[in-house]
């Protein structure tokens, strides 16, 4: 599904990613861990197509297609979703209205008709129940005055609504208390399937207790320095990142 080869990228001449190689197949869950400043969020932004990051070398392929000239919205239409670490506020636009617009814009781009209102409402009902979201929440302005936990839950709600092929969760666990973490993780687990893939970006092993990854990668100074299975996350939790910093590149 996603193939990243020798990816170098940065912002205003500062290289942040230093040759990333990563392959994600349908049905897989990958966790990307690493210390602050290792390039985790940059990687997520580059995959999503954020313009301020410049790709200087290497290639990102989605189902074999080079994403270089593909706009962020086109990537979204192709099934790429990113859960933001810091979701933005859009005053006056309700969660429902925002979702309706997002879903129908993607459908339009794919040459499909708008989603009928009853289907939309049904999906909203199902997905909000899945994430234990109060219906009143849906008529509030997007992220305006939301608590940290509400913002993150709202991100996963959007993911559930949009049913992406590739979901990147950027530090979704930060700011969540243990109950919210469990709800969010449950939601994500229910969205796992053989046709879609998930990349989880996180500092801590905690979230991975609930969403068990197939692969764990450790990012340091813009490179993947170690890859392994879920046990690698446990090791990291025990030893910290320092023991890996001096390891030769995996």
String of contacts with another protein for each residue 2-41, x by CB under 8 A? ----------------------------------------
106 Cα distance to chain centroid:
18
CB 146 within 8 A of CB 88: no
Q: How far is the CB of 88 from another protein (least distance, A)?
A: 5
Q: Is residue 157 close enough to count as binding another protein by CB under 8 A?
A: no
Distance of alpha carbon 11 from alpha carbon 9, whole angstroms: 7
Cβ closest to another protein, residue 1 vs residue 76: 76
Cβ closest to another protein, residue 82 vs residue 224: 82
What are the residues facing 200 on neighbouring strands? 31, 169
**HEC-encoded secondary structure of 85-120:** CCCCCEEEEEHHHHHHHHHHHHHHHCCCCCCCHHHH
Using alpha carbons, list the distances in angstroms from residue 42 to 73, 109, 223.
Answer: 18, 27, 12
Pairing label, strands 80-83, 29-33: unpaired
String of contacts with another protein for each residue 60-99, x by CB under 8 A? ---------xxxxx-xxx---xx-x--xx-xxxx---xx-
Distance of alpha carbon 107 from alpha carbon 238, whole angstroms: 46
Q: Is residue 59 close enough to count as binding another protein by CB under 8 A?
A: no
Q: Is residue 181 close enough to count as binding another protein by CB under 8 A?
A: no
Q: How far is the CB of 94 from another protein (least distance, A)?
A: 9
Q: Which member of 51, 134, 238, 242 binds another protein (CB under 8 A)?
A: 51
Q: Which of residues 216-245 bind another protein (CB under 8 A)?
A: none
Q: Which of residues 92-111 bind another protein (CB under 8 A)?
A: 92-93, 97-98, 101-103, 105-106, 109
Cβ closest to another protein, residue 51 vs residue 231: 51
Q: Is residue 146 close enough to count as binding another protein by CB under 8 A?
A: no
Q: Is residue 48 close enough to count as binding another protein by CB under 8 A?
A: yes
Distance of alpha carbon 31 from alpha carbon 213, whole angstroms: 6
CB 42 within 8 A of CB 16: yes
CB 53 within 8 A of CB 42: yes
List residues binding another protein (CB under 8 A). 48-52, 69-73, 75-77, 81-82, 84, 87-88, 90-93, 97-98, 101-103, 105-106, 109, 141-142, 158, 162
């Amino acid at each position: 599904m996603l193939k990243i080869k020798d990816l170098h990228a940065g912002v205003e001449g500062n290289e942040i990613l230093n040759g990333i190689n990563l392959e994600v197949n349908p049905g897989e869950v990958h966790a990307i861990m690493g210390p602050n400043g290792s390039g985790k969020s940059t990687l997520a932004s580059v995959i999503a197509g954020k313009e301020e990051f410049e790709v200087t070398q290497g290639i990102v392929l989605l189902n074999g297609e080079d994403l270089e000239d593909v706009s962020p919205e086109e990537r979204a239409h192709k099934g790429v979703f990113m859960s933001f670490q810091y979701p933005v506020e859009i005053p006056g636009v309700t969660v429902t209205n925002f979702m309706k617009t997002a879903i129908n814009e993607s459908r339009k781009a794919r040459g499909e008709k708008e989603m009928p209102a009853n289907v939309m409402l049904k999906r909203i009902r199902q997905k909000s129940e899945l994430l234990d979201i109060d219906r009143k929440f849906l008529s509030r302005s997007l992220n305006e005055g939301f608590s940290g936990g509400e913002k993150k839950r709202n991100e996963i709600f959007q993911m559930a609504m949009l049913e992406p092929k590739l979901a990147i969760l950027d530090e979704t666990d930060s700011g969540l208390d243990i109950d919210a973490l469990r709800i969010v993780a449950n939601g994500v687990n229910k969205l796992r399937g053989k046709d879609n893939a998930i990349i989880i970006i996180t500092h801590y092993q905690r979230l991975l207790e609930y969403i068990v990854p197939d692969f764990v990668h450790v990012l340091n100074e813009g490179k993947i320095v170690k890859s392994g299975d879920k046990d690698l996350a446990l090791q990291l939790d025990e030893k910290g990142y320092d023991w890996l910093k001096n390891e030769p590149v995996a």
